[in-house]
Chain A
């Protein structure tokens, strides 16, 4: 595929979009795992949400 004389600008545009979007998704996945780990640690120490029983019942 010939991207013409300005290929570098086209490739750079798609590269930066890919980097930022993949980076965002990676950050969200890692942050989610971190929050879940913190909650699991708290529950392992016997700290529970009062509504947890109600959640399970739902």
Chain B
């Protein structure tokens, strides 16, 4: 009996399943994000210290969680490619990288826009901000490495190795606020002892986080489908060219 992973290993099967799933995931993302925005702007009270700027948290924190979560997905997919040679593992990793880079960019920019009114500075070279900036450069590095090699198989393997090496950055980012004296506040949601945020602010944050997660899932499915189509087109073009070359060679002999 085939496992779910084995069933999904077939790109054609994946195209069929993802095609059915995509409208539902996209619709759910839009509904949840709309509800999250309603809660953020019409339900959540101003913070007693930060005032209305706490609203930036509702987009900053989900972006930052996705920046790290997507990288973890890239690393798991890379592991799947190198160890199990799963046919969709490299498709998943390649598709996730630009989306992860975009969310890391959003975490950095919204963090800067939150930092200016709260800290008096858009940017400080503290451990949390600097480690997330390195994560952003790592995403760019993965894209650059892949696009610099013509051999797609070699590019996939080298990119996967770099992705697995880079996973060491995730605990550094997570615990940077505990290990070093940083301007960035320590964890207030994902921490031992439970969240330290009042439910009136925590609920919109969690709803927005679910919305961002669903949006990422929809975008990742779309990107994977595009990558499968690109590989099909490339394979068809190459086989067409090689058949044409063989025909030309046979005609020349005759």
Contact B236 A42 (CB under 8 A): yes
The number of residues on chain B lying at the interface, defined by a beta carbon within 8 Å of a beta carbon of chain A, is 40
Contact B56 A10 (CB under 8 A): yes
Specify which chain B residues have a CB less than 8 angstroms from the CB of A28 in the assembled complex. 219, 222-223, 226
Contact B219 A24 (CB under 8 A): yes
Specify which chain B residues have a CB less than 8 angstroms from the CB of A35 in the assembled complex. 226, 229-230, 233
The number of residues on chain A lying at the interface, defined by a beta carbon within 8 Å of a beta carbon of chain B, is 34
Contact A36-B229, Cβ < 8 Å, known A25-B219, A28-B222: yes
Q: Does B27 contact A (CB under 8 A)?
A: no
Contact A38 B12 (CB under 8 A): no
Which one of B107-115, B133-141, B187-195 is at the A interface? B107-115
Which B residues, 19 to 58, have Cβ-Cβ distances below 8 Å to chain A? Answer: 41-42, 46, 51-53, 55-56
Give Cα A36–Cα B226 distance, bound, in whole angstroms: 8
Number of A-B contacts (CB under 8 A): 95
Q: Does B232 contact A (CB under 8 A)?
A: yes
Contact B55 A32 (CB under 8 A): no
Specify which chain A residues have a CB less than 8 angstroms from the CB of B114 in the assembled complex. 9, 13
Contact B102 A14 (CB under 8 A): no
Q: Does B117 contact A (CB under 8 A)?
A: yes
Contact B51 A6 (CB under 8 A): yes
Q: Does B85 contact A (CB under 8 A)?
A: no
Contact A42 B240 (CB under 8 A): yes
6 closest Cβ pairs, A-B complex: A35-B229, A4-B52, A6-B117, A28-B222, A38-B233, A13-B110
Question: Interface of A with B (CB < 8 Å)?
Answer: 1-7, 9-10, 12-14, 16-17, 20-21, 24-25, 28-29, 31-32, 35-36, 38-39, 42, 45, 47-49, 51, 55, 58
> Assuming A13-B59, A16-B113, A31-B226, what are 10 further A-B pairs, CB within 8 angstroms?
A3-B55, A6-B117, A9-B56, A24-B98, A24-B99, A32-B222, A32-B229, A38-B233, A42-B240, A58-B12
A-B contact list, 24 entries, CB within 8 Å: A1-B42, A6-B53, A6-B117, A10-B53, A13-B55, A13-B59, A13-B114, A14-B55, A17-B59, A17-B63, A20-B102, A20-B105, A24-B99, A28-B222, A28-B223, A31-B226, A32-B222, A36-B229, A38-B229, A39-B236, A42-B237, A47-B239, A49-B232, A58-B16
